[in-house]
């Protein structure tokens, strides 16, 4: 493989990997953009779903992506309930700003430790029939374990976008993020709306968890590296901006891959955060306006 | 009135430090200084965090990065042959303060939660940078030769203990000053409403920057002593989220926004954790901290000092 | 106002006094010596990374040492006294390791110590052992003594004292079929990765191999396709990996996905010796060459080996450790044996006497005869094996149990099969 082919392959793979980043970042981006809640525990929930998928796979031989999808209604309910509690305790507490953030941080640590207690430190992976299969197009080799999640993520992004911009419920939900009181005036319960959004956010975490363990092995601390990526994606794409998040995720996937191919993976890992900080400096609202 | 208070406080501080300085010459249990340093480490980090988080409302989730980068800076100097303790310490402080400056600069135009996540992301960036530099040991880690302790101490960790006590006391005084001086009042108004404070003439950016720098300096100071304690640094445990979580939990346990909070919280939590590590040996140390943090923040976010103040009937300042 | 301030000070004073009392009380309580009974147990203390990144190995080591203690006590104990293990979890955090050894020696006052599993905790423990003049036997730590040259440190670790020991077997295998091949090196960016790849590069120089591409990756890397694309582009004859458990699996997966097909592939890939990971990859491992420390080949069965393996395998599920226990467990057990034999032979618990004995004698353990290099404390002679996975058909636990599909290619005295060359491609 001559370098040009290698770079092209790296480029395409970057796009595929970007799909995974997108679905992870989407939940966090929705939280920050629509609810103004920086859900640090998001990656913890994602890992929880991954372990759930692992268990379902071990017990019933269920495909992890399917498992992640099956678990998402539960995560929706969990997210809904969690937000109601969060709202009642923290949103009301204007005299102590930021405590909500600390709460979520603590929640992340608890989730990690619970998963650790249940599953131990050994990395868990799932071996599906497509685990090491690839589709070969010319000199391009596309691993199925990344391709499938990408296709599904793409579909998901489009679905969420249409939901939030074309359906009445979706538009109302977006509105509540902008101004709670106005929405209340038109007869929509802001707490319910917000809880639905958060529930959706956690549901995407469940899906992401399924995709994650289909793509690579996990350990209780696997989620942490994605906090940085999700943040970078959100900053670049604009929090709450669905398509922006998706494009930013692809961009970072490609960038990371290209840098890795050319300069080694150590720089590839750091590049996204550096860009994020740069963007924060220049255009805090993100590169892609709504 | 205030004059008397300040003098009394300074007197108490000097007394404690003197006692601490003499202790190693008579009390020879090495393990005590070991454990005490660890506890004081978190007390100081808690103070640093409280300055920014308690007084300004900016939550730094990259505590591990600040202390860690300072540890690496100081270790690097040691590696290239600069063995003067003060120099390495100073260098560590400078590096971490610079980091604070960078973070503040980047997040000056966005909301507080961006600051938090950005500081968290910093941890990863710095880990990657350190990994890529073989002079910093890369992933292999950095070995530090054990230094000779200054007289009259027989172990360098005794000296570190005394230094840590002193630093904690200085941090306490600084916090107290912040709370009571005009900076303190300006800061509290930022916490309430940044924009309103700005319109009232409070130079928000300058104040924020000042506190970030002071906070980073303290984290850097104690971080720079870490290489002398563990004698081996590697990027994963040196700058980790566990440091941050423990620091934050300490602050909330003791009482956020109060100059005694970090001492109490850090002291209690640090002692508990050190004890748990070497007695019950529960692997769920972090679970305890996490649960403590979540429970505290939900039901008693003002911590011990908050409860104390409420019991005294002193009107809680509206922070 | 004054009264309020005074009250605050009173509260502070009270809190500080309470903390001091509690800490002092706990401290005092912890340092009460154990009751003197007829047969006081000999207490052996150590720290293990039972949680954190090194947790899997730490747990396996703990189980092996527990079995060892049971075996010793079943035969009447050490010097006629039962042994008692005193251990704590250091969470793979070297700062905690150091504090734990301080406590074990200074407060718990254990009679003997053993080292933790793995390099990083051992490096933290060694200065403490040195300070108290204790003999320290560590498990699977690499070159921890390099900076200190402490005479009573001993490393129960299958590689020998030289960095080149790790990869010389691999190079020998390559050299037997290829002249001046092109080589690519992919290593994990940490202590072990650095050292092993350095040793490998030195070996390549000596053998006349031509390194055309080298790279390293951060340990948190989860997807290796982008790491391996440039390797494939370089089109080397040989690919040598230095990796840790998750990465090893990830690298093989990625290699298969992009169809990286050199003539020889493998390396010092930790993790592929564990059943968990072998099962994940299954038949894909056919043709891959990895290092190993022990497999149940007839030539590698020594006195007590079979008994240990069956005991270990019986207990493994309860402890949540690797079910086969081929790689690390027998070596951890033998660390205990070294200590035991030294104490029994000298009849003493004196650290210096034990240390001197270990420096100058050979030990018969369940992984064979061990002898230590007095200059560094590492094993005098490398016991590192290189094996090639061959003939895997189902990729299940049965395939990986026993020596049938794990053919030893190096060293010659344990050779059990011939190299399959060139690499047949991915299954």
Report whether pLDDT(C238) > 90: yes
Give B150's DSSP letter: P
Cis peptide before C333 (omega within 30 of 0): no
The pLDDT value given to residue C231: 93
Given this model, what pLDDT does residue B53 score?
86
Which pLDDT score is estimated for B317?
52
The Cα–Cα gap between C191 and C210 comes to 24
Distance CA B261, CA B271 (A): 15
Report field, pTM of the whole predicted structure over 0.80? no
Contact criterion met (CB < 8 Å) for B113 and A103: no
| Strongest mean pLDDT among A70-79, C125-134, C273-282 | A70-79
> Between the ranges A192-196, A212-216, C385-389, where is the mean pLDDT highest?
C385-389
The total of other beta-carbon atoms located within 10 Å of residue C32's CB is: 7
Q: Predicted confidence band at B256 (pLDDT cuts at 50, 70, 90)? A: confident
How many CA atoms within 13 Å lie on the side-chain side of B162? 22
Q: What pLDDT sits at residue B316?
A: 47
How far apart (Å, rounded) are the C-alpha atoms in residues B306 and B304? 5
CA distance C259 to C229: 10
Query: What is the band of B139 on the pLDDT scale with cuts at 50, 70, 90?
Result: low
pLDDT score at C388 = 95
Per-residue confidence band for C351, with pLDDT thresholds at 50, 70 and 90: very high
Nearest to C193 by CA among C212, C216, C171: C216
Distance, CA of C19 to CA of C8 (rounded, Å): 16
Least confident piece of the model among B201-210, C50-59, C100-109, C323-332: B201-210
pLDDT at B45: 95
Does residue C45 sit in helix, strand or coil? strand
State the nearest Cα–Cα gap between C110 and chain B, in angstroms: 14
Q: What is the pLDDT of residue C419?
A: 93
Task: Report how far apart, in Å, the C-alpha atoms of C309 and of each of C25, C297, C301 are.
Answer: 44, 13, 10
Q: How far separated are the first and last CA of chain A, in Å rounded?
A: 40
Q: Which residues of C touch B267 (CB under 8 A)?
A: 16, 19
Q: What is the pLDDT of residue C28?
A: 62
Average of per-residue pLDDT values in chain A: 82
Judge: B140–C194 Cβ closer than 8 Å, yes or no: yes
C8 CB within 8 Å of a chain B CB = yes
**What pLDDT band is residue B10 in, cutting at 50, 70 and 90?**
confident
Q: Are B251 and B63 in contact (CB under 8 A)?
A: no
Q: Considering chain C, what is the average pLDDT of its residues?
A: 88
**DSSP-derived secondary structure for C163-177:** TTHHHHHHHHHHHTT
Residue A270 has pLDDT above 80, yes or no: no
User: For residues A198 and A66, is the Cβ–Cβ distance under 8 A?
Assistant: no
What mean pLDDT is predicted for residues C320-343? 92
Residue C21 is predicted with a pLDDT of 73
Of C3-17, C204-218, C229-243, minimum mean pLDDT range: C3-17
Would the pLDDT of C301 be above 80?
A: yes
Could you say which DSSP state residue A218 is in? B
- pLDDT (tens digit per residue) in A52-71: 999 998 888 888 889 999 99
Q: In whole angstroms, give the CA distance from residue A147 to residue C225.
A: 13
Residue A290 confidence (pLDDT) above 50: no
Q: Which chain B residues have a beta carbon less than 8 Å from that of A107? A: 290, 294
* pLDDT higher than threshold 70 for residue A273: yes
Give every CB contact of residue C112 below 8 A, 6+ residues apart in sequence.
C42, C43, C44, C45, C134, C135, C339, C343, C349, C354
Report whether pLDDT(A234) > 90.
no
A-chain residues near B122 (CB < 8 A): 273
Q: Give Cβ neighbours of residue B7 (< 8 Å, ≥ 6 apart).
A: none
- C249 chain-A contacts, CB cut-off 8 A: 123, 125, 217
A118 touches chain C (CB under 8 A): no
- What is the rounded average pLDDT of the residues C9-31? 68
Cβ-in-10-Å burial (0-12, 13-18, 19+) of A47 comes to buried
Mean pLDDT of B195-209: 66
Give CA separation, B278 vs A159, B273, C89, C101, C178, in Å: 53, 9, 8, 9, 54
**Rounded Cα distance, B244 and B65, in Å:** 9
C280 compared with A81, residue with greater pLDDT = A81
Give the torsion sign (CA, A268, C270, B281, C18): negative
- Residue C265 pLDDT > 70: yes
pLDDT at B198: 58
Exposed e or buried b per residue across A247-265, where buried means at least 16 C-beta atoms within 10 angstroms of its C-beta: bbbbbbbbbbbbbbbeebb
Question: Which chains reach chain C with 3 or more Cβ–Cβ distances below 8 angstroms?
Answer: A, B
Q: Which of A82, A96, A221 to mutate to test the interface with B (most CBs of B within 10 A)?
A: A96
CA distance linking residue B235 with residue C190, whole number of Å = 9
Q: Which of C190, C146, C139 shows the shortest CA–CA distance to C375?
A: C146
Confidence of residue C340 (pLDDT cuts 50, 70, 90): very high
* pLDDT higher than 60, residue B283: no
pLDDT in tens, C111-170: 999 989 988 889 889 988 998 999 999 999 888 888 788 999 999 999 888 889 999 999
Contacts of C282 (CB under 8 A, 6+ apart): A127, C392, C394, C395, C396, C399, C427
Calculate ∠ Cα C251-C253-C254, nearest 5°.
65
pLDDT of residue C33: 53
Residue C387 has pLDDT above 70, yes or no: yes
Is the pLDDT at A183 greater than 90? The verdict is no
Count contacts between B and C (CB, < 8 Å): 116
| A residues 206..225 contacting C (CB < 8 A) | 215-217, 219, 221-222, 225
| Cβ(A187)–Cβ(A125) below 8 Å | no
**Hey, what CATH topology would domain C163-292+390-414 get?**
Rossmann fold (3.40.50)
Q: How far apart are CA C90 and CA C84, in angstroms?
A: 19
Domains identified in chain A, total number: 1
Residue C349 pLDDT greater than 60, yes or no: yes
Residue of chain B whose Cα is closest to the Cα of A36: B113
> b or e along B5-20 (b: 16 or more beta carbons within 10 Å of the residue's beta carbon)?
eeeebeeebeebbeeb
Domain range spanning residue A49? 4-158+190-282
Sign of CA dihedral C93, C99, C102, C105: negative
Write out chain C residues lying below 8 Å of A261, CB-based: 226, 229-230
Taken in order B176, B181, B185, B187, the sign of the CA dihedral is negative
Q: Quick check: A46 pLDDT over 70?
A: yes
B 124-163 → A contacts, CB under 8 A: 124-125, 128-129, 131-132
User: Which ipTM score applies to this complex?
Assistant: 0.78
CB of C22 less than 8 A from some CB of B: yes
Residues recorded for chain C: 427
For the cut 60, the answer to whether the pLDDT of residue B314 exceeds it is: no
Strand, coil or helix: C386: strand
pLDDT at C29 exceeding the cut of 80: no
Distance between CA atoms of B78 and B145, rounded to whole angstroms? 8
Give yes or no for a contact between A242 and A197, defined as CB atoms under 8 angstroms apart.
no
pLDDT exceeds 90 at position A99: no
Residues of C within 8 A of B138 (CB-CB) are 189-190, 194, 216
Q: What angle do CA B134, B140, B145 make, to 5 degrees?
A: 90
User: Cα–chain-centroid distance for residue A166?
Assistant: 22
Q: How many residues does the structure list for chain B?
A: 319
Nearest to A264 among C215, C254, C256 (CB): C215
| Mean pLDDT along residues C337-357 | 93
Class of domain C42-158+301-371 (CATH, top level): alpha beta
Residue from the list A120, A122, A265 with its beta carbon closest to the beta carbon of C217 = A265
CB nearest to C233's CB, from A6, A146, A265: A6
- Per-residue pLDDT, averaged over B282-295, amounts to 78
b/e for B176-191, b at 16 or more Cβ within 10 A?
Answer: bebbeeebbebbbbbb
Of the pLDDT bands very low, low, confident and very high (cuts 50, 70, 90), residue C202 is: very high
- pLDDT-derived band at B140 (thresholds 50, 70, 90) equals low
Whether C30 shows a pLDDT value over 90: the answer reads: no
Question: How far apart are alpha carbons C240 and C250 in whole angstroms?
Answer: 15
Query: What pLDDT does residue C35 have?
Result: 40
Q: Inform me whether the C-beta atom of residue B101 falls under 8 Å from chain C C-beta atoms.
A: no
Chain B hits for A231, Cβ within 8 Å: 117-118, 120-121
- In this structure, is residue A168 part of a structural domain? no
Q: Residue C83 has what pLDDT?
A: 94
Domain boundaries, chain C: 42-158+301-371, 163-292+390-414
Identify the closest residue of chain B to A99 by CA–CA distance: B297
Across C5-22, b (16+ Cβ under 10 Å) vs e yields eeebeebbeebeeebeee
Q: Which of residues 182-201 of C touch B (CB under 8 A)?
A: 188-195
Residue A187, number of CB atoms within 10 A of its CB: 7
Mean pLDDT of B36-55: 91
- Give the one of C226, C253, C282 whose C-beta lies nearest to A268's C-beta: C226
Whether A253 is covered by a domain: the verdict is yes
| pLDDT for residue B60 is more than 80 | yes
Q: What's the mean pLDDT in A24-35? A: 85
Going by C-alpha positions, the residue among C260, B125, C226 that lies closest to residue A258 is C226
Bond before B212 cis per omega within 30 degrees: no
Hey, how many other C-beta atoms are within 10 angstroms of the C-beta on B257? 26
């Amino acid at each position: 493989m001559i370098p040009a082919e290698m770079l092209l392959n790296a480029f395409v793979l970057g796009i595929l990997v970007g799909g995974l980043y997108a679905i992870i970042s989407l939940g966090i981006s929705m939280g920050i953009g629509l609810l103004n809640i920086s859900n640090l525990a998001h990656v913890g929930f994602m890992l929880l779903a991954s372990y759930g998928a692992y268990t379902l796979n071990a017990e019933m031989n269920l495909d992890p992506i399917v498992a992640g999808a099956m678990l998402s209604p539960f995560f929706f309910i969990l997210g809904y309930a969690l937000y109601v509690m969060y709202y009642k305790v923290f949103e009301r507490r204007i005299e102590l700003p930021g405590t909500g953030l600390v709460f979520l941080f603590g929640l992340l640590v608890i989730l990690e430790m619970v998963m650790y207690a249940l599953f131990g430190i050994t990395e868990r992976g799932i071996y599906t029939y497509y685990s090491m299969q690839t589709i070969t197009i010319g000199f391009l080799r596309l691993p199925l374990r990344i391709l499938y999640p990408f296709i599904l993520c793409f579909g998901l992004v489009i679905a969420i976008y249409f939901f939030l911009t074309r359906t009445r419920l979706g538009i109302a939900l977006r509105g509540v993020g902008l101004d709670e009181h106005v929405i209340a005036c038109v007869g929509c319960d802001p707490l319910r709306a917000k809880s639905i959004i958060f529930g959706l956010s956690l549901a995407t975490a469940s899906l992401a968890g399924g995709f994650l363990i289909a793509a690579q092995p996990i350990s209780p601390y696997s989620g942490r590296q994605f906090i940085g990526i999700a943040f970078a994606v959100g900053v670049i794409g604009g929090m709450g901006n669905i398509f922006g998040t998706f494009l930013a995720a692809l961009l970072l996937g490609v960038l990371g891959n290209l840098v890795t191919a050319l300069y080694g993976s150590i720089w590839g890992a750091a590049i996204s955060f550096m860009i994020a900080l740069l963007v924060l400096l220049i255009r805090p609202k993100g590169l892609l306006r709504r | 009135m205030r004059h008397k208070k300040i003098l009394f406080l300074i007197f108490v501080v000097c007394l404690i430090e003197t006692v601490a300085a003499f202790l190693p010459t008579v009390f020879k249990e090495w393990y005590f200084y070991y454990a005490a340093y660890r506890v004081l480490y978190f007390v100081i980090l808690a103070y640093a965090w409280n300055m920014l988080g308690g007084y300004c409302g900016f939550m730094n989730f990259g505590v591990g990065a600040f202390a860690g980068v300072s540890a690496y800076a100081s270790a690097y100097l040691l590696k290239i042959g600069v063995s003067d303790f003060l120099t390495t310490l100073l260098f560590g402080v400078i590096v971490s303060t610079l980091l604070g400056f960078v973070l503040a600069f980047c997040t000056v135009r966005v909301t507080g939660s961006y600051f938090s996540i950005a500081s968290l992301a910093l941890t990863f960036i710095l880990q990657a940078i350190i990994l890529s530099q073989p002079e910093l040991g890369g992933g292999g880690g950095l070995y530090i030769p054990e230094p000779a302790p200054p007289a009259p101490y027989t172990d360098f960790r005794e000296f570190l203990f005394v230094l840590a006590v002193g630093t904690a006391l200085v941090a306490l005084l600084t916090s107290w000053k912040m709370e009571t001086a005009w900076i303190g009042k300006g800061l509290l108004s930022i916490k309430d409403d940044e924009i309103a404070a700005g319109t009232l003439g409070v130079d928000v950016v300058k104040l924020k920057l000042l506190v970030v720098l002071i906070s980073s300096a303290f984290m850097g100071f104690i971080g720079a002593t870490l290489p002398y304690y563990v004698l081996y640094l590697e990027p994963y445990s040196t700058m980790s989220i566990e440091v941050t979580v423990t620091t934050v939990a300490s602050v909330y346990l003791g009482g956020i926004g109060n100059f005694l909070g970090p001492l109490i919280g850090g002291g209690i939590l640090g002692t508990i954790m050190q004890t748990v590590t070497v007695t019950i040996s529960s692997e769920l140390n972090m679970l305890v901290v996490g649960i403590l943090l979540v429970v505290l923040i939900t039901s008693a976010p003002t911590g011990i000092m908050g409860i104390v103040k409420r019991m005294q009937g002193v009107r809680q300042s509206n922070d | 106002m004054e009264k309020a301030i005074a009250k605050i000070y009173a509260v502070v004073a009270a809190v500080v006094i309470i903390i001091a009392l509690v800490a002092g009380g706990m401290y005092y309580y912890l340092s009460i010596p154990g009751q003197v009974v007829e047969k006081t147990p000999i207490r052996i203390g150590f720290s293990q990374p039972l949680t954190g990144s090194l947790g899997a190995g730490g747990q396996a080591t703990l189980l092996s040492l527990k079995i060892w203690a049971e075996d010793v006590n079943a035969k009447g104990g050490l010097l006629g006294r039962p042994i008692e293990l005193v251990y704590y979890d250091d969470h793979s955090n070297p700062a905690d390791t150091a504090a734990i050894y301080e406590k074990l020696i200074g407060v718990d006052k254990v009679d003997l110590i053993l080292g933790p599993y793995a390099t990083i905790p051992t490096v933290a423990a060694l200065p403490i052992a040195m300070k108290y003049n204790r003999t320290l036997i560590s498990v699977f730590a690499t070159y921890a003594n390099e900076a200190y040259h402490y005479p009573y440190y001993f490393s129960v670790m299958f590689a020998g004292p030289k960095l080149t020991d790790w990869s010389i077997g691999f190079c020998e295998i390559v050299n037997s079929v290829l002249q001046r091949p092109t080589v690519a090196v992919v290593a994990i960016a940490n202590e072990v990765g650095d050292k092993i790849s350095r040793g490998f590069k030195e070996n390549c120089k000596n053998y006349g191999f031509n390194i055309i591409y080298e790279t390293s990756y951060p340990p948190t890397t989860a997807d290796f396709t982008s790491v391996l694309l440039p390797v494939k582009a370089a089109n080397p004859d040989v690919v040598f990996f230095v990796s840790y458990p998750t990465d090893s699996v990830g690298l093989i997966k990625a290699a298969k996905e992009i169809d990286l097909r050199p003539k020889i592939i493998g390396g010092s890939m930790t993790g592929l010796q564990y059943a968990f990971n072998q099962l994940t990859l299954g038949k894909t491992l056919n043709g891959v060459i990895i290092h190993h420390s022990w497999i149940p080949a007839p030539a590698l069965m020594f006195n007590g080996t079979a008994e240990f393996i069956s005991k270990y395998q019986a207990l493994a599920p309860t402890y949540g450790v690797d079910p086969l226990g081929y790689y690390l467990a027998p070596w951890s057990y033998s660390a205990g044996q070294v200590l035991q034999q030294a104490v029994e032979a000298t009849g003493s618990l004196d650290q210096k006497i034990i240390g001197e004995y270990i420096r100058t004698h050979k030990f018969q353990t369940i992984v064979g005869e061990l002898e230590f290099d007095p200059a560094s404390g590492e094993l005098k002679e490398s016991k590192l094996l290189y094996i090639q996975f061959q003939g895997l058909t189902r990729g299940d636990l049965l395939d990986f149990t026993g020596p049938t599909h794990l053919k030893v290619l190096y060293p010659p005295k344990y050779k059990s099969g011939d190299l399959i060359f060139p690499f047949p491609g991915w299954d």
